C-alpha cells in the first residue's frame, strides 16, 4: 500500500517518491518536490547528477497567451512542471518545445492505496489560523471521489480528520495579522451565522494568498531605499492592521479576493523579469505585470508615487514602453468595488496638485522645476489618442488611450465626492428632491458676510453658470428690407490653467446684403466673452451638445444618459474638454478654428516674440550700461545699405552709447520726449539685430532709423533744440551717431519719387504696377518695394508684374504685411499664388518661418509646391515639430519612382517622423537603396501593431523587405514562386502544365469551394486521374483544394492544392502524357510535384503583406532558429522564423551544414524558398 493524492482533474496518483507535497485549501495536490536526473556536459564529458526539483501544477491558461493558439494538445499541455523551468519559459519563447522534458509523469494510484487530503478549516469562533485538517482513506477505483456539481472532494462517510482538531500551520506575521485584524473588525461582531462563515472563509483565503505573495517578495533582493522596497513595506503595512475596508459586503470581499488573485498570478508568472530589472525599476516592472484588478490592492499612495515618477517631464509615455497602459490600469484600479470612496477622493485630489520635480542638472546638481501643471494635465498631454487611425480609417480602436484615460477617470469621478449625485459614505444628509447630495464637494453652500442667504461656493450666474446651452434656442435671425442678419452662439473651452478651465461664449453675426452687387455681399463679425471659469472636476449641465460622431457610442457606454426624457446630463468639465479636444484634433466643425491665434499672427505680433530675450542679449547689456559700455571700436551693427543710396555704414558701441545717454537723460523732458522715444526704438532694433540677424529685424532698423531721422528733421525745421542741457562734447558725439542713422535710413523720399517717375515713363507696360504702388500709404512699405523690386528696368520683368492686373504686386504686399522678406524678392515666388499663400501660412508660425527662410530658394519653391495646400490636420505636424522642414530638406532628393513624391501627404509626415534626426549614413542608405518605395509598401501593408511603429523606422528592415521582393532563384522571383511555379512539358511542340511547386497564397486558389475530385480512369501506375469536375472559374491558371485535405492553423493552413493541367504516367521508367482515344493529352487536376502533394498557404493576407512578414521573420532570426537535419549525418539550411502575427515561416538560406551556425545568414543572400508552417 502506498500513499496517494487527488489532482484537480479528479485523477488519483501515487505520492511515492514525492517530497513535501502541498495542497490547495480544498485538498487537491498543487505542488511537490522530486529527485530527478540531470544530464549535462562538463569539459566534453557527460555527467548525470541527481537534483531535487520543485514541481507545480500548471493549467493551459498559465501558458503564454501567444502559445495558446494552434499549440494546445501539442506543446501546451496541462500538468505538473518544474517550477523554475516553467517560469523561464514564460520569458523565453524557445523553451516551449522543451517543456515536455520537464513535465512530471505520475503513476496512477492502485486499489487500497491511502488517499491523503489536507484541507483548510475555518470554523467558529474563527480564532485558529491557519488550521489544516488531514483526511485519510483507502482508494476504491470505482467509487466517485469528486462532487461534479461543486467540483469538491467527497470525503467518505465516517472518515474524520486525523487528528480531529487539525494542525495549525504557521504563516507570515503579515498574513496572520491581516486575518486576526479583519476577523475582529468584520466577523466577530456579526450575528448571522452564514454571513460570518462566508466572510471568515474569504479572509482566510486572502491571508493564505498574502502569505504566498510575501514568499515571492522574499525572493527578490531589495535596496532598502528603492521604490520597490518602500512599496513592499507600505503593502505589508496595509495588509497587517490598516483599515482596507469599511463595513464590506460579501460582494466587496469577493471583488478584493479576485483582485488579490490577479495580483498573485501576475507577480508569480513575471517574477524572473522583476528580479532581473534594475532595483530602481522593480516596482515599475511589477506594476506593468499586474492587471487593473491586481493594482486595486496596491496602496493608493504607492500608485500615486508611481504616476508621479512616470509623469516626470523628461519621460515619454508610449504603447511601446507600456507607460500609457500602466497609467490606464492605475486609473482603472480605482473603479473596483473593493476600493473605498475615500481612496477615490484622495486619488482625484492628488491629480489636481501642481507638480514640482527635483531635476538633476549639470555637475549632478539638483534644481527645482515647477511645471505649473497638475498631474492630471501632465498625464493628459503625455497620453495620446489613435489619431492616425482616425484620420486614415475614421475608426476608434483599443489604442485610443487618451479617450480611455478620460473615460476611466470619469468612472472614478462618478463614484467620488465631486459628483453631486453620488452618495459618499461620509455624508450625514440624504439627497434632496433633485437627487443631489447637499454635502457633495461642489454643492456646499456659503453665507456671505452680513447676509442670511446661502449661496453655492462654485456657481454664479455671471462667473460660472451651471448650464451651457448648445442648442438652437441661442441662435437667432432677423430680416430687414435689405439684409438677413443672423447670430450663432458657440462655446469654446480654453487651455487648462492649473486647476481651472475657462469657457468662452462667442457670438458670430453674419449680415447678408440682398441688394449688393458686389461678389462678396456678406460681412461677418465676432464677439467673444468669458462665459465662466470652472474647476476641472466641476460638474456642469449641457443642453443640446452634439459630440463627435465617433465618440457617441463610447459616451453611451459611460451611461451618462438619463433616467427620464427631461433629464439634463451632468458631466465634469474635463469630460467636455476632452470632447472638444477630440473634435479639434480631427479638425471638424466644433465652433473653434483657432481664430484668436490667426488674428494674432496677422498683426505681425508673432515676429516680436524674440523680444522676451532682450534682457539676456550679451551685446545689449554693455550698451545699455551707460559708462560701462563696450569700447568705441566694437561694431554693434555692420549695415549694407540699399545700392545707389548710401555706402556701407557701421554703427558702433560708441554711437550707441551716445544715443543711450541721450535717452537716459531726456525722457522726462516733455518737449524732447518724442525724439527720445524714436531714439530708444532705433537703439532697441539695432541691438536686437546685432545678435538676432533676420530680414524682418533688419527692416525694422531701417524703419526706426527713418522715423528717427524724420523726427529730428521736424524739430530742426521748427527751430526746437533737441540738445537740452548737453555739453558741446556730448552734442558732437550725438550728431556723429545721428549722421550714421541718416545713412542707414537713406533718402527715402528720393527713392519713392524715383520709383513713381520710372513707372510713369514706361506707360502701359507698367500702368497696373503704378496703380498698385499708388495704393501703398506707408512710406516704409514704399521704400521696401524699391529695396526688393527696384525700378523695373527689365521689360520682361515689367511684363510679368504688370500682367493679371498686377497680381504679383498684390502678392508682394501680402508678403510685406506678413514680414516675409527673403522670398518677396523672387519673381517666381510672387507670380505663384500657391507659393505666396503657403508662405503666409508658414510665416504666421514664427518658428516655421525661421526654418523656411533658411532654405535655399529652389528648395523652398519645391517645398511650397508640395506643402502649401495641405490640410490643417497635416499642417499641425509642422506646427508641433518645425524641425520636420529640415528633415524634408534632407530627404528631398529626386529618384524617380523611389523618392518622397511617391508617398501620400500622410505618408510623407509618417516617413519624416520615422527618420527624424537620421545620420547622413542612413539618409544615403535610404537614397541609394531605393528604400522609400519599401517604406510605402510597409505602411500600406503593415505588420502587427506591436511591431509596426518600430520596424517601419528601421532602414535595415526596409532593406530586408527589398531583399524579399527582389530575391530570385533560377531567374524566378521569390514572390512568383510563392504565387505558383508551374511545371510544364512539351507535347507536339506545345508546353503543357503537368504540375507545380511553391504556391503559398490562399488568394491564388481560383475555385471558391473545395472540390471532390472524380476519376473516370487510372493511369499506367494504377493511380486515378482526376479528370472531374471541370473548373468553374475562368482563369489563366485554375487551382482548387482537394476536399477534406485542409488542416487549419492560425494564419496558415495545410492542404492539397491541384492545378488544372494534363495527366502524365510513368511507363518503362519514362514519363509520358496520358492520351485519350484520339491521341490527345487528357486534361486533369494535377498535384504538387513534391511534399506528397501538400502545400501550406497564408490565410487572408495580401501578397505584399506576406512579403513584409517574411522579411520580418528573417530580420529577427537568431542562430537558435536554425533547424537541425532530420538525420544525424544530414545537412540543413532551413531556418524557422516567426512573423509579427506569430506565424511560423520556414526559410532556406545560404549553404547547408550539420553544425549550428554561430551567426545568421548574410541578409543580402537570396532566399532558396520561404513558406508558412503549421
Looking at residue 711, what is its pLDDT? Answer: 81
Question: Which of 424, 418, 422, 441 has its CA nearest to residue 537?
Answer: 418
Looking at residue 605, what is its pLDDT? Answer: 27
Residues 491 and 426 in one domain: no
Section 508-526 average pLDDT: 75
Residues 453 and 367 in one domain: no
For residue 362, pLDDT beyond 60: no
For residue 396, pLDDT beyond 60: no
Between CA 1151 and CA 1138 the distance in angstroms is 21
Between CA 342 and CA 344 the distance in angstroms is 5
Name the residue range of residue 128's domain: 3-168
Residue 217, number of CB atoms within 10 A of its CB: 20
Residue 305 located in a structural domain: yes
Residues 345 and 453 in one domain: no
From residue 732, alpha-carbon distances to 655, 660, 745 in Å are 11, 14, 20
Q: State the number of CA atoms in the 13 A half-sphere of 225 facing the CB.
A: 0
Section 900-926 average pLDDT: 92
Residues 225 and 341 in one domain: yes
H helices, E strands: number in the chain? 39, 40
Instruction: Return left, alpha or beta for 10; rule: phi > 0 is left, psi -120 to 50 is alpha, else beta.
Output: left
**155-208 tens-digit pLDDT:** 999 999 988 888 888 888 888 999 989 998 899 999 898 999 999 999 999 999
Residues 214 and 106 in one domain: no
Q: Which residues, other chains included, contact 118 with Cβ-Cβ below 8 Å and sequence gap of 6+?
A: 23, 27, 132, 133, 134, 135
Looking at residue 598, what is its pLDDT? Answer: 20
Residue 874 located in a structural domain: no
Contact (CB, 8 A) for 1108 and 980: no
Q: List the beta bridge partners of residue 1169.
A: 1148
Hey, is 1032 helix, strand or coil?
Answer: coil
Q: Which residue shows C-alpha cell 444628509?
A: 429
Domain boundary among 1071, 1100, 1129: 1100
Residue 157 located in a structural domain: yes
Band (840; pLDDT cuts 50, 70, 90): very high
**969-1017 tens-digit pLDDT:** 888 999 999 999 999 999 988 999 999 999 999 999 999 999 999 998 8
More confident residue, 131 or 548: 131
**5-29 tens-digit pLDDT:** 999 888 999 999 999 999 999 999 9
Between CA 807 and CA 830 the distance in angstroms is 8
Residues 391 and 424 in one domain: no
Residue 1123, number of CB atoms within 10 A of its CB: 14
Domain boundary among 554, 571, 601: 554
Hey, is 479 helix, strand or coil?
Answer: strand
**104-127 tens-digit pLDDT:** 999 999 999 999 999 998 888 888
Q: Which of 60-69, 86-95, 852-861 has the lowest mean pLDDT?
A: 60-69
Residues 998 and 1010 in one domain: yes
Looking at residue 1081, what is its pLDDT? Answer: 95
Polymer length of the chain = 1174
Mean pLDDT of the chain: 80
Hey, is 1113 helix, strand or coil?
Answer: helix
From residue 210, alpha-carbon distances to 131, 171, 240, 594, 600 in Å are 16, 10, 10, 55, 61
Looking at residue 788, what is its pLDDT? Answer: 80
For residue 91, pLDDT beyond 70: yes
What is the number of structural domains in the chain? Answer: 6
Contact (CB, 8 A) for 1174 and 1096: yes
Q: Which of 298-312, 598-612, 751-765, 884-898 has the lowest mean pLDDT?
A: 598-612
Alpha carbon distance, N-terminus to C-terminus of the chain = 46
Looking at residue 623, what is its pLDDT? Answer: 37
Residues 276 and 404 in one domain: yes
Residues 289 and 343 in one domain: yes
Hey, is 117 helix, strand or coil?
Answer: strand
Residue 827 located in a structural domain: no
Looking at residue 690, what is its pLDDT? Answer: 53
Which DSSP state fits 1042?
B
Residues 188 and 305 in one domain: yes
Residue 522 located in a structural domain: yes
Q: Which of 106-110, 503-507, 703-707, 913-917 has the lowest mean pLDDT?
A: 703-707
Looking at residue 72, what is its pLDDT? Answer: 54
Residue 825 located in a structural domain: no
Band (568; pLDDT cuts 50, 70, 90): very low
Q: What is the CA radius of gyration of the chain?
A: 41
Between CA 625 and CA 623 the distance in angstroms is 5
Residue 764 located in a structural domain: no
Section 674-703 average pLDDT: 62
Band (640; pLDDT cuts 50, 70, 90): very low
Contact (CB, 8 A) for 829 and 835: yes
C-alpha cell at 302: 504607492
Q: Which of 581-590, 725-734, 773-782 has the lowest mean pLDDT?
A: 581-590
Question: Which of 749, 755, 784 has its CA nearest to residue 770?
Answer: 755
Residues 35 and 76 in one domain: yes
Residue 441 located in a structural domain: yes
More confident residue, 260 or 914: 914
Residues 407 and 443 in one domain: no
Q: Which residue shows C-alpha cell 492649473?
A: 498
Domain boundary among 1035, 1069, 1100: 1100
Question: Which of 521, 525, 503 has its CA nearest to residue 512?
Answer: 521
From residue 95, alpha-carbon distances to 31, 63, 88, 911, 938 in Å are 21, 12, 8, 37, 31
**861-904 tens-digit pLDDT:** 999 999 999 999 999 999 999 999 999 999 998 888 889 999 99
More confident residue, 464 or 380: 380
For residue 637, pLDDT beyond 80: no
C-alpha cell at 1147: 526559410
Q: What is the crossing angle of helices 375-382 and 341-351, to 10°?
A: 80
Section 450-455 average pLDDT: 62
Question: Which of 188, 178, 175, 172 has its CA nearest to residue 241?
Answer: 178
**243-289 tens-digit pLDDT:** 788 788 998 898 888 888 887 888 888 788 777 776 666 777 777 77
More confident residue, 531 or 942: 942
Amino acid at each position: 500500500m502506498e500513499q496517494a493524492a487527488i489532482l484537480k482533474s479528479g485523477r488519483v496518483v501515487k505520492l511515492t517518491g514525492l517530497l513535501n507535497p502541498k495542497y490547495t485549501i480544498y485538498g487537491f495536490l498543487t505542488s511537490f518536490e522530486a529527485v530527478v536526473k540531470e544530464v549535462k556536459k562538463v569539459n566534453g564529458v557527460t555527467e548525470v547528477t541527481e537534483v531535487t526539483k520543485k514541481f507545480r501544477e500548471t493549467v493551459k491558461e498559465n501558458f503564454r497567451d501567444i502559445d495558446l493558439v494552434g499549440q494546445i494538445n501539442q506543446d501546451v499541455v496541462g500538468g505538473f512542471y518544474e517550477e523554475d523551468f516553467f517560469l523561464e519559459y514564460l520569458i523565453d519563447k524557445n523553451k516551449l518545445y522543451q517543456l515536455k522534458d520537464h513535465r512530471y509523469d505520475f503513476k496512477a494510484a492502485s486499489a487500497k492505496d491511502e488517499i491523503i487530503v489536507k484541507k483548510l478549516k475555518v470554523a467558529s469562533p474563527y480564532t485558529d489560523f491557519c488550521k489544516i485538517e488531514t483526511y485519510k482513506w483507502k482508494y476504491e477505483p470505482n467509487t466517485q471521489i469528486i462532487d461534479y456539481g461543486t467540483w469538491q472532494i467527497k470525503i467518505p462517510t465516517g472518515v474524520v480528520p486525523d487528528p480531529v482538531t487539525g494542525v495549525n500551520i504557521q504563516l507570515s506575521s503579515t498574513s496572520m495579522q491581516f486575518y486576526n485584524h479583519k476577523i475582529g473588525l468584520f466577523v466577530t461582531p456579526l450575528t448571522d451565522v452564514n454571513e460570518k462563515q462566508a466572510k471568515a472563509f474569504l479572509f482566510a483565503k486572502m491571508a493564505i494568498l498574502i502569505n504566498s505573495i510575501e514568499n515571492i517578495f522574499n525572493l527578490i533582493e531589495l535596496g532598502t531605499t528603492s521604490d520597490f522596497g518602500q512599496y513592499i513595506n507600505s503593502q505589508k503595512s496595509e495588509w497587517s492592521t490598516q483599515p482596507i475596508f469599511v463595513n464590506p459586503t460579501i460582494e466587496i470581499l469577493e471583488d478584493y479576493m479576485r483582485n488579490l488573485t490577479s495580483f498573485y498570478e501576475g507577480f508569480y508568472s513575471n517574477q524572473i523579469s522583476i528580479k532581473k530589472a534594475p532595483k530602481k525599476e522593480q516596482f515599475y516592472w511589477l506594476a506593468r505585470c499586474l492587471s487593473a484588478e491586481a493594482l486595486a490592492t496596491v496602496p493608493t499612495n504607492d500608485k500615486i508615487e508611481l504616476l508621479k515618477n512616470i509623469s516626470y517631464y523628461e519621460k515619454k509615455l508610449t504603447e511601446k514602453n507600456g507607460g500609457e497602459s500602466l497609467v490606464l490600469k492605475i486609473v482603472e484600479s480605482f473603479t473596483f468595488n473593493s476600493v473605498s470612496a475615500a481612496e477615490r477622493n484622495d486619488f482625484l485630489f492628488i491629480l489636481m496638485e501642481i507638480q514640482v520635480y527635483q531635476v538633476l542638472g549639470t555637475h549632478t546638481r539638483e534644481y527645482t522645476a515647477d511645471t505649473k501643471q497638475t498631474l492630471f494635465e501632465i498625464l493628459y498631454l503625455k497620453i495620446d489618442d489613435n489619431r492616425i487611425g482616425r484620420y486614415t480609417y475614421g475608426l476608434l480602436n483599443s489604442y485610443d488611450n487618451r479617450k480611455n484615460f478620460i473615460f476611466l477617470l470619469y468612472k472614478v469621478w462618478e463614484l467620488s465626492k465631486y459628483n453631486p449625485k453620488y452618495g459618499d459614505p461620509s455624508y450625514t444628509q440624504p439627497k434632496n428632491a433633485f437627487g443631489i447630495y447637499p454635502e457633495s464637494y461642489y454643492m456646499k453652500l456659503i453665507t456671505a458676510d452680513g447676509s442670511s442667504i446661502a449661496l453655492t461656493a462654485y456657481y454664479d450666474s455671471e462667473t460660472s453658470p451651471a448650464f451651457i446651452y448648445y442648442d438652437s434656442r441661442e441662435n437667432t435671425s432677423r430680416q430687414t428690407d435689405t439684409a438677413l442678419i443672423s447670430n450663432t452662439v458657440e462655446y469654446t473651452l480654453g487651455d487648462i490653467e492649473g486647476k481651472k478651465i475657462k469657457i468662452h461664449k462667442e457670438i458670430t453675426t453674419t449680415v447678408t446684403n440682398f441688394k449688393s452687387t458686389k461678389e462678396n455681399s456678406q460681412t461677418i463679425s465676432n464677439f467673444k466673452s468669458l462665459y465662466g471659469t470652472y474647476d476641472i472636476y466641476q460638474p456642469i449641465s449641457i443642453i443640446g451638445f452634439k459630440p463627435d460622431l465617433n465618440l457617441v457610442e463610447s459616451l453611451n457606454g459611460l451611461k451618462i444618459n438619463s433616467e427620464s426624457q427631461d433629464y439634463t446630463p451632468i458631466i465634469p468639465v474635463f469630460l467636455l474638454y476632452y470632447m472638444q479636444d477630440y473634435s479639434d484634433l480631427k479638425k471638424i466643425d466644433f465652433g473653434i478654428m483657432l481664430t484668436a491665434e490667426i488674428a494674432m499672427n496677422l498683426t505681425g505680433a508673432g515676429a516680436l516674440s524674440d523680444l522676451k530675450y532682450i534682457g539676456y542679449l550679451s551685446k545689449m547689456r554693455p550698451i545699455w550700461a551707460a559708462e560701462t559700455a563696450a569700447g568705441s571700436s566694437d561694431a554693434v551693427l555692420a549695415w549694407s545699405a540699399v545700392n545707389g543710396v548710401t555706402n556701407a555704414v557701421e554703427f558702433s558701441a560708441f554711437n550707441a552709447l551716445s544715443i543711450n545717454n541721450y535717452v537716459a537723460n531726456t525722457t522726462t523732458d516733455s518737449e524732447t520726449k518724442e525724439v527720445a522715444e524714436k531714439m530708444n526704438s532705433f537703439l532697441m532694433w539695432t541691438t536686437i539685430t546685432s545678435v538676432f540677424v533676420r530680414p524682418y529685424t533688419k527692416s525694422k532698423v531701417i524703419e526706426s532709423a527713418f522715423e528717427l531721422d524724420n523726427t529730428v528733421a521736424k524739430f530742426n525745421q521748427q527751430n526746437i533744440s533737441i540738445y537740452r542741457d548737453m555739453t558741446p562734447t556730448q552734442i558732437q558725439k550725438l550728431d556723429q551717431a545721428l549722421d550714421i542713422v541718416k545713412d542707414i535710413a537713406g533718402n527715402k523720399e528720393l527713392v519713392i519719387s524715383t520709383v513713381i517717375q520710372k513707372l510713369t515713363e514706361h506707360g502701359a507696360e507698367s500702368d497696373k504696377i503704378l496703380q498698385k504702388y499708388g495704393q501703398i500709404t506707408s512710406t516704409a512699405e514704399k521704400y521696401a518695394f524699391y529695396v526688393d523690386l527696384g525700378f523695373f528696368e527689365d521689360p520682361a520683368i515689367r511684363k510679368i508684374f504688370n500682367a493679371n492686373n498686377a497680381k504679383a504686386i498684390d502678392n508682394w504686399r501680402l508678403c510685406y504685411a506678413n514680414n516675409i522678406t527673403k522670398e518677396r524678392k523672387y519673381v517666381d515666388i510672387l507670380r505663384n499664388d500657391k507659393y505666396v499663400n503657403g508662405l503666409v501660412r508658414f510665416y504666421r508660425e514664427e518658428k516655421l518661418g525661421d526654418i523656411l527662410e533658411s532654405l535655399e530658394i529652389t528648395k523652398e519653391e519645391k517645398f511650397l509646391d508640395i506643402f502649401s495646400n495641405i490640410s490643417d490636420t497635416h499642417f499641425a505636424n509642422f506646427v508641433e515639430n518645425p524641425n520636420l522642414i529640415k528633415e524634408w530638406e534632407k530627404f528631398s532628393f529626386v529618384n524617380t519612382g523611389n523618392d518622397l513624391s511617391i508617398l501620400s501627404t500622410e505618408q510623407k509626415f509618417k516617413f519624416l517622423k520615422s527618420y527624424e534626426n537620421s545620420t547622413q549614413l542612413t539618409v544615403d542608405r535610404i537614397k541609394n537603396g531605393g528604400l522609400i518605395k519599401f517604406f510605402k509598401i510597409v505602411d500600406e501593408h503593415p505588420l502587427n501593431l506591436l511591431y509596426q511603429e518600430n520596424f517601419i523606422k528601421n532602414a535595415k528592415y526596409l532593406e530586408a523587405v527589398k531583399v524579399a521582393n527582389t530575391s530570385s532563384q533560377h531567374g524566378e522571383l521569390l514572390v512568383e514562386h510563392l504565387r505558383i511555379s508551374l511545371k510544364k512539358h512539351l507535347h507536339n511542340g506545345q508546353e503543357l502544365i503537368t504540375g507545380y511547386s511553391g504556391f503559398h497564397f490562399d488568394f491564388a486558389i481560383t475555385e471558391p469551394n473545395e472540390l471532390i475530385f472524380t476519376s473516370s480512369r487510372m493511369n499506367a501506375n494504377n493511380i486515378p486521374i482526376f479528370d472531374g469536375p471541370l473548373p468553374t472559374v475562368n482563369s489563366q491558371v485554375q487551382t482548387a483544394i482537394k476536399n477534406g485535405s485542409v488542416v487549419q492553423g492560425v494564419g496558415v493552413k495545410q492542404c492539397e492544392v491541384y492545378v488544372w493541367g494534363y495527366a502524365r504516367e510513368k511507363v518503362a521508367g519514362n514519363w509520358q502524357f496520358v492520351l485519350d482515344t484520339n491521341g490527345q493529352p487528357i486534361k486533369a487536376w494535377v498535384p504538387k510535384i513534391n511534399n506528397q502533394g501538400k502545400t501550406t498557404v497564408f490565410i487572408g493576407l495580401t501578397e505584399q503583406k506576406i512579403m513584409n512578414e517574411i522579411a520580418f521573420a528573417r530580420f529577427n532570426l537568431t542562430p537558435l532558429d536554425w533547424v537541425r537535419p532530420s538525420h544525424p549525418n544530414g545537412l540543413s539550411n532551413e531556418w524557422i522564423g516567426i512573423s509579427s502575427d506569430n506565424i511560423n515561416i520556414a526559410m532556406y538560406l545560404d549553404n547547408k551544414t550539420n553544425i549550428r551556425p554561430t551567426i545568421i545568414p548574410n541578409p543580402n543572400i537570396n532566399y532558396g524558398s520561404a513558406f508558412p508552417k503549421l
